[in-house]
Amino acid sequence: MPDHTPIRHSLLDLAPIVAGSTAADSFRNTLDLAQHAERWNYHRYWLAEHHNIPGVASAATAIVIEHVAHGTSTIRVGAGGIMLPNHPPLVIAEQFGTLESLHPGRIDLGVGRAPGGDSATTRALRRYRPAAADTFPQDLLELMAYLHPETGDSAVRAIPGHNLNIPIYLLGSSDFSAQLAAQLGLPFAFASHFAPEYLHVALSLYRANFQPSAQLQEPYVIVGVNVFAADTDRQAQRLFTSLQQQFLNLTRGHPREIAPPVDSIDDLWQPHEKAHVQKMTRYAAVGSPQTVRQKLEQILADTNADELMTTASIADHQARLHSFEITADVMKQINAREPSPPANVHSVR
């Protein structure tokens, strides 16, 4: 972790739909969380494209971004990310050109290569582009050309969008995305909050092969982290069972709405399922403020990240707000190099 450079902390929201609630409830909670995140000095607020997942409401990502950007005033808002193979690059350029025109200087465009859904959903999304994933590098270059200053005549322009220089971030969970981000000189965000296996390989490749660009002169790494913070370790561990159930349901091929927490997650899974979910959620900070700080400091030392993209699927909205408030306080302490508080003897009560 750098000695003096502040570590940015940001927020990734999937607009979770909690069991018994609706997408409308989710969007109200998303805006409320974004407004709190702005007051808590989060650097950016990203929403992610997912499809056909009952617990995720952010499928029409650009529209939800507008909902958040319109209801806030200073925090950066964007996609983390848009799954580019699902869309013509021109459409994305126009959508984000519109967002940037409405909210100048506040819009980020993170793009990914994954489908954001299962195979049947992918076929429905890419009805006329069955091999779209194979053209991802070319599609990314086309998107960048629409948004960056024009270097020559073009028969097609993104209006709005052209010449707006909207910052592009490449998202990924593999060495492919890391090498492409390095080649193009883009910031790289790794999805370690659900796919940590290739994190260190990807970051090493990205940093070793980075080529400066007009957007970025030095490598910039964002690391995704699940953060479930509460007043005590025990309370946080209980909140965390909602995410564990979410991954368990995905593992079984039956995605559902965000479930309320349970007292014992071991009653719900088999040993092999437990091992798989624990592997997927390895990059998580779960506990009291002191425990979360220790874990985040460990992750920063381990990755030398420039920014942490924190996320949490917590069923109770007030508990979710409290978790992100604690996280903001912890990051403030880390950046101020404040001494760690003494151990809380009540932290497991």
Strand, helix or coil at 308?
strand
pTM of the full structure = 0.92
Q: How far apart are CA 181 and CA 144, in angstroms?
A: 13
Confidence at residue 177, expressed as pLDDT on a 0 to 100 scale: 94
- Measure the CA–CA gap between 295 and 306, rounded to whole angstroms: 16
Q: Mean per-residue pLDDT for 12-21?
A: 96
Over residues 65-91, the mean pLDDT reads: 96
- Give me the residues paired with residue 225 across strands: 310
The DSSP 8-state label assigned to residue 63 in this structure reads H
Q: Does the structural domain 8-223+308-325 have CATH classification 3.20.20.30?
A: yes
pLDDT tens-digit map of 277-315: 999 999 999 999 999 999 999 999 999 999 999 999 999
> 48: phi > 0 → left, psi -120 to 50 → alpha, else beta; which?
beta
Q: Pull the structure tokens for residue 219.
A: 């490598």
Q: What is the pLDDT of residues 206-241, one digit of tens each?
A: 999 999 999 999 999 999 999 999 999 999 999 999
pLDDT of residue 337: 87
